[in-house]
Each structure stands twice: as structure tokens, then as C-alpha cells.
Structure 1
Amino acid sequence: MGLIELWFRLSEVAPIVEHAMSASEHTKYPDPNDDSPAVPSLIWVKDDGTYLLSNGRPRLLADPTQPEGKAQVAYAQNWGPGTGPEIGYTPVGGDDFTEYIDLTQDVYSGDRLSDLIRKYAELDGWMIFTVGPGQFDISFEPSNPNSYR
């Protein structure tokens, strides 16, 4: 199986990143061998489609008037609700998962992931996850050649 690119519009991801970066508490992937503190992260989820959300607490709500409602998320282009079965046939795989992506990590010559997201969001840019079996890489583009506005 080859690779698939998941394109996330940064105008949708940026508010999620800002929430994670400014939150006073954060959730952490449950690992009994990891006692390090939780850090601001994007949570990449694959279930009914694939999307990103904040690990900040209290959580960022899609509708602030509904405290028990859904979290605000940013779906990958063309992989929204109802696409869970189809994405299962790609390198993303059929099993549901959550992957924590540290926003404070240095990714390119000293730039933190959060800084690159902010930079490309100002350009109405995109974050691309290039996914292969068991691995993924993140890159950025100022525009999406696959987008039809």
C-alpha cells in the first residue's frame, strides 16, 4: 500500500491550536510508562472520518452554548463524517486511533509546529499529513491544488 495525503485547512486548525497553546491543563495519551507532564498537542483521530482537535482543558466546544456537546474539530479535506469505512482502505488503516502531536516540538530549523501552523494560517494555507503504513510526516503549503473554491 502506498501513501495518502490528508489536507487540513489551517483556518480551521488555527483556533484549535490556539486553544491548546493557551489552555492551563492538557490531556495526555494514557501510557503507564510515561510520567512526563502533558504538553499542548493536536489530537489526530481516525474514527468516522479523520480530524484534529485540541488536548486543552476545558475542551474547545463546537457550540459553546452546549457544554455537553461535541468538541470543535477540523476534518481532513474529503474525509469528514461518513467516510470512516472508505479511509479504512487507505494507508491510514481500518482501526480507530488517536495520535497526540506535540505543538511545542521543533520541526524545521528551530520553528515549533505551532509557529508554522500560525504562519501558514495567515496565508490561508494547508497542513498536509503524508501517511504510510505505521508512519506519517507533516508538511505545509500556502495553497491546495486539490481545492475547488
Structure 2
Amino acid sequence: MHTIELRFHLPGVLALAEHAAATAHEAYGSHPPTPALIWARMNGTLLMSSGRPRTDAPDVYAEDWGPGTGQELARTPVGGDDFGQTIPLSQPVELTDGRTVTLLEWLREHSQEGTPSRWFVLEVTAERYDFDVR
């Protein structure tokens, strides 16, 4: 099964998550209004905040998949159609030590000073995606 790893700069992703957690929300497509990251494909692939106003939180493009890469991206498991997928900040993340935390808490833990993680990684196949921090 073909997989692509999309790497997003972790400090920027945490800033988006904090913005989404602290502001009012609008529904995104058919998704209910909830604090979330929005993974989108629009002539490149990026993460956005579900919070409003969006101008307070700059979008974070995947490394090497910014504006103008839509044609190349179409040849990957991400595909060629534009989309937006919400990733709720309340989504549970199971840790190796047995704890379960929310996505927001997990991002905060990995962003603390002294941690080696610098990237939020989406691992994408044609059927699904998973995320990790590296």
C-alpha cells in the first residue's frame, strides 16, 4: 500500500491548535463547529484552524507541498480533488505510557522546550490517515 508522509512544522501546528481552542468556530462543510485542525488540499496541502477569525492563525503548509504543487500532489495518495478534513482537538491519543490525552494536550506535550519533536506528520494512504510527532 502506497503511503506518503506529510510533515508540518510543529510550532506552527500548535499555534493553529491553540487558536482553534481559544476562539469561536464555524462549521466547515458538513462538519459541526468544533475546535479542530482542518487538513485541506488546495493546490498544495495545508493545515488550518477551525477558529475565527482565520486571519489570526496563518495556515501551515506541508514541507515541500506548498502552493503550486497540486499537480504533483495528485499523483500521491492525497489525490487530485480539493477537500477539507477536520481533525478534532478533542480526539483521543493513546500514549505509550498507557495514558490517553486529547490531540491538543498531545501537541502541547511534544512542543515543550527540550523535546526533540519538530514535525507533526500525517501518514496518508488512499484509504486513511494517521498522525505522529517526530
TM-score, normalised via structure 2 length:
0.86
1:115 aligns with 2:108: no
Unaligned runs of 5+ in 2: none
Q: Specify the SS of the correspondent of 2:13.
A: helix
Quick one: distance in 1 between partners of 2:43 and 2:128?
20
Quick one: distance in 2 between partners of 1:125 and 1:106?
21
Whose radius of gyration is greater, 1 or 2?
A: 1
Quick one: distance in 2 between partners of 1:44 and 1:74?
10
Name the residue aligned to 1:126: 119
Deviation at 1:99, TM superposition (A): 0.5
Deviation at 1:59, TM superposition (A): 1.9
Deviation at 1:10, TM superposition (A): 0.6
Quick one: distance in 1 between partners of 2:34 and 2:11?
22
The 5 A counterparts of 1:5-44 are 5-23=5-23, 25-31=24-30, 38-44=33-39
Name the residue aligned to 2:78: 92
- The letter for the 2-side match of 1:96 is D
For 1:38-88, what per-residue CA distance to the aligned partner results, in whole angstroms no more than 9, with x for missing partners? 2100011101210001010122346xxxxxxxxx11111111111111011
Name the residue aligned to 2:54: 59
Quick one: distance in 2 between partners of 1:121 and 1:88?
31
Q: Is the 8 A contact 2:28 2:50 kept in 1?
A: no
Deviation at 1:95, TM superposition (A): 0.6
Quick one: distance in 1 between partners of 2:50 and 2:121?
20
Q: Is the 8 A contact 1:120 1:126 kept in 2?
A: no
Q: Among the aligned pairs, what percent are the same residue?
A: 41
RMSD after superposition: 1.7
Quick one: distance in 1 between partners of 2:19 and 2:106?
16
Unaligned runs of 5+ in 1: 63-71, 142-149
Quick one: distance in 1 between partners of 2:65 and 2:29?
26
Q: Specify the SS of the correspondent of 2:33.
A: coil
- The letter for the 2-side match of 1:30 is G
Which residue of 51, 61, 77 maps to 1:75? 61
TM-score, normalised via structure 1 length:
0.78
